[in-house]
Amino acid sequence: MATSPSSSVQAARRVLADRLCDVRRDAGLSGKQLAEHLGWYPSKVSRIEHARTAPSAEDVRAWCLACGVPEHADDLVASLRAVEGMFVEWRRMERAGLHQAQAAVLPLFERTSRFRSYSSWLVPGLLQTRAYTEAVLRAVQRRRVAVDDVEAAVAARIERQQVLLDPGKTFAFLLEESVLLSSIGDRDVLAGQLEHLAAVASRPNLSVGIVPAGPGRSRMPVEGFWIYDTTQVNVELISGYLTITQAHEITQYAGAFAELADQCVYGAAARQVIGQALARLRPGMSS
């Protein structure tokens, strides 16, 4: 099981380990006795119960059978799968290409009513133009994905933007000003993206806040993240994709979002910042 910088993953591993330990104790077995039943070294039982080693599904089923409660196995395996899904390395998520990863999040977007997104690297996917999306996903594919299904992945991301038209959903986007000044695509791609960003910022169910660059800020930039209602946070890390469901951690991200939102400019002031970034591009743009 992959490790992650979030305590959510370790906490979930700890809960699963405690449940397995309870199963053993309820069966009246010591760790050494369970290991003998299973043909394992006692150290393996200890590592699993202390959440230092993740069991496999087969380990969990054998554990329950040896403790006389095979009926508990399915539930514990389901918990194991949930923990495994909290942090997914990019190489695992994208081994079949980028399209599947893009399409997989559509149900989450459909059931969410309130979206909060903070970005310190790129314009968020829901606000991207097709050209910008293609530049981003092409760069990802070249760097870490053997399968080239960029065209299908771009189509899936653009199709997902239909959620913006749902009047029952609200969207709050916070972007660092630096996002407006750099792009994986060329000047024309970035200019088109900035024009689109200024246009969508006027939608009634959507707000765009820009964190101005410069000294004097109370909260420094952090990793980009999405908050879905009050039930889930997703964070894109260099190594993989993190899903957070622990209430106290969601609260921390919501607090960070609120602090960053307080530093933003909105409305006409945000469009002015976007316009200034666009003006910097024009002298070097092709006609």
Residue 60's CATH number: 1.10.260.40
- Are residues 166 and 259 part of one domain? yes
Q: Tell me the average pLDDT across 259-265.
A: 96
Q: Is the pLDDT of residue 3 over 70?
A: no
- Are residues 124 and 17 part of one domain? no
- Are residues 62 and 124 part of one domain? no
Domains identified in the chain, total number: 2
Intra-chain end-to-end CA distance of the chain, in Å = 52
Q: To 10 degrees, what angle do helices 57-66 and 7-26 make?
A: 20
Judged by average pLDDT, the poorest of 36-40, 60-64, 281-285 is 281-285
* Structural domain of 151: 90-284
- Output the six-digit token pair for 108: 């989450």
- Are residues 185 and 124 part of one domain? yes
Dihedral through CA 251, CA 252, CA 254, CA 258, nearest 10? 130
Neighbours of 133 (CB within 10 A): 25
- Are residues 108 and 45 part of one domain? no
Rounded CA gap, 135 and 81, in Å?
A: 34
Please say whether the dihedral angle defined by the alpha carbons of residues 161, 162, 167 and 169, taken in this order, is positive or negative: negative
- Are residues 96 and 71 part of one domain? no
> How much is the pLDDT for 1?
42
Helix (H, G, I), strand (E, B) or coil at 208: strand
- Are residues 218 and 127 part of one domain? yes
- Are residues 226 and 137 part of one domain? yes
- Are residues 208 and 98 part of one domain? yes
Rounded CA gap, 75 and 106, in Å?
A: 26
The residue among 31, 65, 85 that closes a domain is 85
CB 178 within 8 A of CB 212: no
Q: Is the pLDDT of residue 9 over 80?
A: no
Those residues whose C-beta lies under 8 Å from the C-beta of residue 180, and which sit 6 or more positions away, are 194, 197, 210, 273, 274, 277
In a domain, 2, yes or no: no
Residue 134's CATH number: 3.30.870.10
In a domain, 242, yes or no: yes
- Are residues 163 and 278 part of one domain? yes
CB-based burial of residue 263 (10 Å sphere; 0-12 exposed, 13-18 middle, 19+ buried)?
A: middle
Q: To 10 degrees, what angle do helices 31-38 and 57-66 make?
A: 110
Query: What ranges make up the beta strands (E) of 26-183?
Result: 87-89, 114-119, 170-176
CB 177 within 8 A of CB 210: yes
In a domain, 238, yes or no: yes
What does DSSP assign to residue 42? H
Q: Tell me the average pLDDT across 217-226.
A: 89
pTM: 0.78
- Summarize pLDDT for 82-118 with one digit per residue, the tens: 777 788 888 888 989 999 989 989 999 999 999 999 9
